[in-house]
């Protein structure tokens, strides 16, 4: 028996509004972005004449929400879009944009209404800086949220009991590049040596997917009188926080010290393999991640792809990767560094719902992530009257 598709559900405390979504990850393919759609279930009796609205927002956070310095909060909304869902402003069937929406509307009944958002081209993807194990509360992150609430108007004060928020992610996917594979070569001269040390390094391609090994081809021609005592190869993640500050973090997410030596007058040609994984960096602070949903695993952050005409400052957090090849030379120890910039991105899934392991659970169950989410199969039934 095949597993059922997962449905994410969250209900506000006064039971007037509930959100149903078929997925929480939305893929940015550079030239297009998957739209956000779902269903809002309302209880007209609990609304007491109030309207229902749904909002898609993109927020940059820098520290905890309750921190306020000189009247400035460490939070900035990069994008907000609001739609009125109830009373509906158009025919309900015209608002259907996906098969999941159509299925949920049939199952949830006449009090269910669809919503639909498209991402603007200038928005970043979800990124979160991994906090230290002892850190608590909100960290530096770019986050996306769907928020449904009932109020007299979209600008009216909203009570917490009448609103519900579901965190979603916008993840980066890039097709295979047909460009030239990165390759760099350099020559190092020494004061007491007539001839130089020549090093060349290259990668097989520019775009790598999460979990894919990275091969580095290194060629060393040591015509100098110095001995190369060791070769160290690493993959570094470079993170720049471009809002509120100019913080920059360079963290090695994969590093190997091979112990290879190249004596004076000798040569070396060798291929090294590195595998950058979050599993090997979970306890390290300030590693950038592809956002994070509680109880859902994530990856190292994908490389930021800045689209033409988009200001880098709007993206909040920029992530890139490089490969470093270091040669430790004898005598007075000197280090030669060779850098290759490449793109690390999400691999596109063929089946949308397979990534949510809770989809294998039978029936509806309460998710203990503190957000009140409910995961269930396609046989989601509307709430019954008590």
Per residue in 14-23, pLDDT (tens digit) is 889 999 998 8
Q: What is the arrangement of strands in the sheet containing 214-222, beginning at the earlier edge strand?
A: 183-188, 197-203, 214-222, 267-274
Query: Looking at the 3D structure of the chain, how many domains does it have?
Result: 2
- Do 189 and 101 have their domain in common? no
Nearest 10 degrees: Cα torsion 325, 329, 334, 336: -20
Report how far residue 252's alpha carbon sits from residue 174's, in angstroms, rounded to the nearest whole number.
Answer: 23
- Tally of residues, the chain: 386
pLDDT of res. 215: 92
In a domain, 386, yes or no: no
User: Quick check: is 46 in a domain?
Assistant: yes
pLDDT at 362 exceeding the cut of 50: no
CATH number of the domain where residue 46 is located:
2.60.40.840
Residue 75's domain comprises 6-173+346-355
Asked if residue 355 lies in contact with residue 196, where contact means CB atoms within 8 angstroms, the answer is: no
Q: Residue 178: inside a domain, yes or no?
A: no
Show the tokens assigned to 123: 């928005």
Question: Does 144 share its domain with 84?
Answer: yes
Same domain flag for 16 and 123:
yes
> Do 143 and 212 have their domain in common?
no
Q: Which two tokens stand for residue 257?
A: 């010290």
Q: According to the model, what pLDDT value does residue 132 have? A: 64
For residue 217, the model assigns a pLDDT of 92
Instruction: Point out the least confidently predicted range of 208-217, 332-341, 352-361.
Output: 352-361
| 156 has pLDDT over 90 | no
pLDDT single digits (tens) 264-313: 899 999 999 999 998 888 888 888 988 776 656 788 998 888 887 777 77
368 pLDDT above the threshold of 50: no
Choice between 111 and 345, residue whose per-residue pLDDT is larger: 111
* Structure tokens that stand for 309 in this block: 């005409």
Q: What is the mean pLDDT of residues 240-245?
A: 78
What per-residue confidence (pLDDT) applies to 311?
A: 76
Is residue 256 located within the same domain as residue 127? no
Residue 312's Cβ-side half-sphere holds a number of Cα atoms within 13 Å equal to: 11
**pLDDT computed for residue 177 by the predictor:** 67
Any domain includes 381: no
User: Per-residue pLDDT averaged across 75-87, rounded?
Assistant: 90
CATH number at residue 315: 2.60.40.640
Average of per-residue pLDDT values in the chain: 78
Residues 167 and 279 in one domain: no
Strand partners, 18: 11, 41
In this predicted structure, the answer to whether residue 149 has a pLDDT above a threshold of 70 is yes
Amino acid 137: pLDDT: 55
- Would 385 be classed as within a structural domain? no
Burial class (CB in 10 A: 0-12, 13-18, 19+), 326: middle
Same domain, 130 and 161: yes
Q: What is the mean pLDDT of residues 56-78?
A: 70
Q: Is the domain of 296 the same as that of 209? A: yes
pLDDT for 355 equals 30
CA–CA–CA angle 281, 127, 350 (5° rounding): 90
Phi, psi of 245, deg, nearest 5: -155, 175
**pLDDT score recorded for residue 356:** 32
Q: Are residues 143 and 252 in the same domain?
A: no
Residue 206 and residue 157 share a domain: no
Peptide bond into 155 cis (omega under 30): no
CA–CA gap between residue 9 and residue 100 (Å, rounded)? 13
**Measured in whole angstroms, how far is the alpha carbon of residue 90 from the centre of its chain?**
34
Distance CA 241, CA 247 (A): 5
Residue scoring higher pLDDT (353 or 382)? 382
Do the domain assignments include residue 229?
A: yes
**Tokens read off for 29:** 């393919």
Whether the Cβ atoms of residue 227 and residue 211 lie closer than 8 Å to each other: no
- pLDDT for 213 equals 93
- Using the structure block, give the residue that is written with the tokens 């989809």: 359
- Report the 10 Å Cβ neighbour count for 379: 12
Model confidence pTM above 0.85: no
Tell me, yes or no, whether 350 and 278 share the same domain.
no
Same domain, 245 and 220: yes
| CA-based R_g, the chain, Å | 26
pLDDT of 83 > 80? The answer is yes
Rounded Cα gap, residues 311 and 80, in angstroms: 18
What is the predicted pLDDT for the residue at 119?
93
**CA distance linking residue 237 with residue 285, whole number of Å:** 12
| End-to-end C-alpha distance for the chain, whole angstroms | 33
Q: What is the pLDDT of residue 333?
A: 46
Q: 134 versus 358: which is more confidently predicted?
A: 134
Q: Does residue 265 belong to any structural domain of this protein?
A: yes
Residue 369 lies in a domain: no
């Amino acid at each position: 028996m095949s597993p059922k598709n997962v449905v994410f559900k969250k209900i506000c405390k006064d039971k007037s509004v509930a959100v149903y979504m078929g997925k929480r990850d939305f893929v940015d393919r550079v030239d297009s972005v998957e739209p956000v759609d779902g269903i809002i279930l309302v209880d007209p009796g609990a609304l007491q004449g109030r309207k229902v609205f749904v909002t898609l927002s993109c927020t940059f956070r820098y520290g905890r929400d309750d921190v306020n310095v000189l009247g400035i909060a460490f939070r900035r909304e990069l994008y907000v879009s609001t739609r009125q869902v109830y009373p509906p402003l158009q025919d309900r069937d015209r608002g259907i944009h996906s098969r999941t929406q159509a299925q949920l509307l049939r199952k949830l009944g006449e009090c269910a209404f669809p919503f639909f958002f498209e991402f603007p081209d200038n928005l970043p993807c979800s990124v979160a800086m991994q906090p230290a194990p002892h850190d608590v509360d909100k960290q530096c992150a770019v986050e996306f949220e769907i928020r449904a609430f009932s109020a007299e108007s979209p600008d009216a004060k909203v009570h917490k009991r009448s609103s519900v928020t579901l965190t979603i992610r916008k993840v980066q996917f890039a097709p295979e590049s047909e460009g030239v594979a990165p390759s760099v070569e350099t020559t190092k001269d020494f004061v007491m040596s007539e001839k130089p040390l020549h090093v060349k390094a290259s990668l097989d391609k520019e775009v790598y997917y999460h979990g894919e090994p990275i091969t580095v081809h290194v060629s060393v021609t040591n015509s100098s009188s110095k001995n190369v005592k060791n070769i160290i190869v690493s993959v570094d993640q470079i993170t720049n926080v471009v809002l509120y500050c100019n913080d920059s973090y360079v963290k090695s997410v994969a590093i190997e010290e091979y112990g290879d030596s190249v004596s004076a007058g000798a040569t070396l040609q060798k291929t090294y393999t590195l595998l950058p994984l979050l599993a090997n960096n979970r306890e390290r602070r300030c590693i950038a991640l592809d956002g994070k949903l509680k109880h859902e695993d994530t990856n190292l952050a994908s490389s930021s792809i800045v689209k033409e005409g988009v200001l880098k400052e709007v993206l909040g957090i920029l992530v890139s990767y490089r490969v470093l090849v270091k040669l430790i030379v004898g005598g007075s120890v000197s280090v030669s560094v060779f850098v290759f910039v490449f793109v690390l991105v999400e691999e596109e899934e063929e089946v949308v719902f397979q990534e949510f392991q809770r989809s294998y659970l039978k029936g509806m169950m309460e998710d203990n992530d503190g957000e009140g989410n409910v995961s269930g199969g396609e046989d989601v039934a509307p709430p019954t009257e008590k």
